Amino acid sequence: MATTTTAPGRVGVRMKVNGVDYAAEVEPRLLLVSFLRDNLGLTGTHIGCDTSQCGACVIHLDGQPVKSCTLFAVQADGAELTTIEGIAKNGEYDAVQMGFWEMHGLQCGYCTPGMIMTANAFLDRNPNPTEAEIRHALEGNLCRCTGYQNIVKAVQYAAKQRAGGAMEAGSGTDLDFEHKDVIEHAPEDLQDWGDQLAGQEER
């Protein structure tokens, strides 16, 4: 039998996470997401629903996208894992991360790590997807903010970038204001803020 029970009720696990080898003794019921976040301090992987539905916790296990809230850490014994912390290489964002940046693919950012992990695994499998295929691939990742439109564009951007072409920065966003518009209207103090709010209807 392969199991080596090292302390009563505890099981030894080894795994490679983002290229680093780890060994630990864990309770069998410890969820992989908790192992990553609490034991290894890799808090980029989020817990959204904890009921296997939202995809905020998606990581790669031996190259496949998996919901780390629906795996026990012991099941990942011997596996190679990549989390969102392992996606950027040498301080450079990868194509999917750039897509989210350029196409305004996030608002609060809570779903973003899972989205990026799912999108990356999907583009490995289907490098030249249609919009419908992208939407289908992201069915297990829920976003409460964006309405998905710009997430789809972010993945399209990444597919193009990965294929060597580059989509024009900003061309995917639906926002027709520039940052400086916002800054011009930024209130100077509370009084100014109140005045601006009061005058808003007229503007």
Ligand X SMILES: Cc1cc2nc3c(=O)[nH]c(=O)nc-3n(C[C@H](O)[C@H](O)[C@H](O)COP(=O)(O)OP(=O)(O)OC[C@H]3O[C@@H](n4cnc5c(N)ncnc54)[C@H](O)[C@@H]3O)c2cc1C
**Applying CB under 6 A, which residues contact ligand X?**
52-53, 70
- CB of 51: closest distance to ligand X in angstroms? 8
Stretch that binds another protein, among 23-31, 155-163, 166-174, 184-192 (CB under 8 A): 23-31
Tell which one of 37, 67, 104, 153 touches another protein (CB under 8 A). 67
5's tokens? 């029970």
Q: Which entry of ligand X, another protein, ligand FES, none binds 141, CB below 5 to 8 A by partner kind?
A: another protein
Distance in angstroms (rounded) separating the CA atoms of residues 142 and 127: 22
- Residue 181: how many CB atoms within 10 A of its CB? 9
Instruction: Write the DSSP string, 27-92.
Output: -TT-BHHHIIIIIS--TTS--S-SSS-S-TTEEEETTEEEEGGGSBGGGGTT-EEE-GGGTSBTTB
For CA atoms 160, 161, 166, 168, give the dihedral sign.
positive
| Interaction of residue 169 with ligand FES, rule CB under 6 A | no
80's tokens? 């190679």
Written as one letter, the residue type at 33 is: V
From the list 154, 90, 168, the residue with the least C-alpha distance to 122 is 154
Instruction: Write the DSSP string, 120-162.
Output: HHHHHH-SS--HHHHHHHTTT---SSS-SHHHHHHHHHHHHHH
- CB of 75: closest distance to ligand X in angstroms? 10
Binding mask 130-159 for ligand FES (x = CB under 6 A): -------------xxxx-------------
Q: Which entry of ligand FES, another protein, ligand X, none binds 28, CB below 5 to 8 A by partner kind?
A: another protein
Binding mask 49-88 for ligand FES (x = CB under 6 A): xx-xxxxxx---------x-x-------------------
| Interaction of residue 27 with another protein, rule CB under 8 A | yes
**Which residues in this chain contact another protein in the complex, by CB under 8 A?**
1-3, 9, 11, 27-31, 50-53, 55, 58, 61, 64-67, 70-72, 74-75, 77, 118, 121-122, 125, 136-137, 139-141
Which residues make up the interface to ligand FES (CB under 6 A)? 47-50, 52-57, 67, 69, 106-112, 143-146
